[in-house]
Homo-oligomer: A and B are copies of this chain.
Amino acid sequence: MGKRLVVIGGDAAGGSAASQAKKRQEDLDVVLFERGRATSYSACGIPYWISGAVEDESALIARTPDEHRKAGIDVRMRTEVTGIDLDGRRVHWRDLDGGTEGTEPFDELVYATGSVPMRPPVPGIDATGVYGVQVLDDGRALRAELDRGDVRRVVVVGGGYIGLEIAEACRVRGLDVTVVDLAATPVGTFDPDVGQFLADAVRREGIQLVLADGVAAIDVDADGRARAVVTASGRELPADLVVLGLGVRPNVGLAKEAGIPLGTSGGIAVDARMRTQADGVWAAGDCVESLHRLSGQRVVVALGTHANKQGRVAGINIGGGYATFPGVIGTAITKVCDLEAARTGLSTAEAELAGYSFVTAVVDSSTKAGYFPGAQPIRLKMIAERRSGRLLGAQIVGKEDAAKRIDALAICIWNEMGVDEILSLDLSYAPPFSPVWDPVLIAARKAFEAVEDDVRQL
């Protein structure tokens, strides 16, 4: 009998791990447990499916259960793993539809349970009409409700990436949308000056922002249905529908019960090859913590791109190969209406928390040569370490063609480049693509001047 790999969770991380391991080691028995109705889907695509930009739910699915089965993986859909017995080398499972229970033995285990959405512990949070947008089934329920046509006013709780993307989706559908967030500017991982640019643009799109305010309660009508969000400051925001977009935390309940050690951040602790500290147990995706290469701390970052990479790394190692996941630097990107925003590295708040001292530079430029038709505004902020001039972080907001430029800066940060070297980079130039001094180069020049000015005063 061949060795048996059990994978808990069939989305990006689990699906990738299962595929890679099976591909590399054909005689491996791979059993994949997924409690939902889909495998390997794009959770990040849910807002665009809700808005109607993506027509068909199936478009979001990268690999169906049957495609996994064709690759030789034994997929158990709608089957929840309810316990892990590390000493007994088996998992306990329950079929969510039929109610059957059972156990499955394993030699190696991949823990890829993802994350669970944050729910504020306020009255009314469990009322009808309050939706999360975590898994595909959430999206399906939310879209069905919107399709019924009774909803006019939507309140989104949380003004981060997901919150704003959902707000846009509802706005595209012609609804009245209000976003509530605790922070003074939306997407708190951006610096306030960049966040303000975002806030202005979001409001211009007709989305109401209630900032620096929390949710105290959700008012419920006689039928048990949400009818308003009451904020901490006492405002009452009428709502036919409430969407929670407060972010997520790693889904580590099973791991804790089984004795798979967590890290300081609350995610599963893993090494560079995605091994946990439990023998023969691997973990990947939203439930694990990763090295942040700038702060040096271990952090949980729930993002499909990391989940895919980590799952691949785990699968390669399980299949007898060698691969490592070298960590993250906090790159993220979003589009809200026609505004694009992206960040990489540390924000000023994060840099302070990490113990860095730094200077900043902000430039307003254009995405094409200023004289070229269709040139759009782009604002670029750089955060550079004092003395060394090492780039610690960058943020971009702008219109069409602005934000994806963050990748260039992410690679500068990854390579620990100083802003003086960045301003000499051989970046592409032609009038349809950038001014002759690319915004990245202008920002680096300005940041370098700030570093020099600061050094003179040291």
Residues of A participating in the B interface, judged by any CB pair closer than 8 Å: 12, 42, 44-45, 48, 53-54, 59-60, 62, 161, 303-306, 308-309, 324-335, 340, 342, 344, 369-373, 401, 403-408, 410-412, 414-415, 417, 421, 424-434, 436-438, 440
* A39 nearest CB across to chain B (Å): 14
B425 touches A410 (CB 8 A): yes
Name A371's contact: one of B45, B305, B309 (CB within 8 Å). B45
Residues of B within 8 A of A431 (CB): 42, 44-45, 48
A62 adjacent to B436 (CB under 8 Å): yes
Q: Is the CB of B371 within 8 A of A42?
A: yes
Query: In the assembly, what is the distance between CA of A335 and CA of B372, in Å?
Result: 13
A325 to B426, CA, bound (A): 10
- For the complex, what is the distance from the CA of A402 to the CA of B147, rounded to whole Å? 35
Nearest-neighbor residue (CB-CB) of A57 within chain B: B371
Contact of A407 among B309, B369, B428, B432 (CB under 8 A): B428
Interface hub of A44, A305, A344, A417 (most chain B Cβ within 10 A): A305
A–B Cβ pairs within 8 angstroms, 28 of them? A44-B431, A45-B371, A45-B372, A45-B431, A48-B431, A54-B371, A54-B372, A62-B436, A304-B436, A305-B436, A305-B437, A308-B437, A326-B421, A327-B426, A331-B428, A332-B430, A333-B428, A334-B430, A344-B426, A401-B401, A403-B428, A404-B428, A407-B427, A407-B438, A410-B427, A410-B428, A411-B411, A415-B415
Q: How far is the CB of A372 from chain B (nearest CB, A)?
A: 6
Q: Whose C-beta in chain B lies nearest to the C-beta of A313? A: B424
Closest Cβ of chain B to A96, distance in Å, is: 27
Q: Do A433 and B42 touch (CB < 8 A)?
A: no
Q: Is the CB of B405 within 8 A of A371?
A: no
- A328: nearest residue on chain B (CB-CB)? B426
CB contacts (< 8 Å) of A373 on chain B: these are 53-54
- Bound-state CA distance A45–B404 (Å) is 24
With A48-B431, A326-B424, A408-B410 given, name 9 new contacts (CB 8 A): A161-B430, A304-B436, A324-B424, A331-B428, A335-B430, A335-B433, A344-B428, A408-B411, A415-B417
A197–B439 alpha-carbon span in the complex (Å): 30
* B48, B306, B424: the one within 8 Å of A372 (CB): B48
Give chain B residues whose Cβ lies under 8 Å from the Cβ of A329: 426
Which chain B positions have C-beta within 8 A of A410?
A: 408, 425-428
Q: Which of A330, A334, A373, A427 has the most CB of B within 10 A?
A: A427
CB <8 Å contact, A438 and B305: yes
Query: Which 7 pairs from chain A and chain B are nearest by CB?
Result: A59-B371, A333-B428, A305-B429, A415-B415, A411-B411, A407-B408, A335-B432
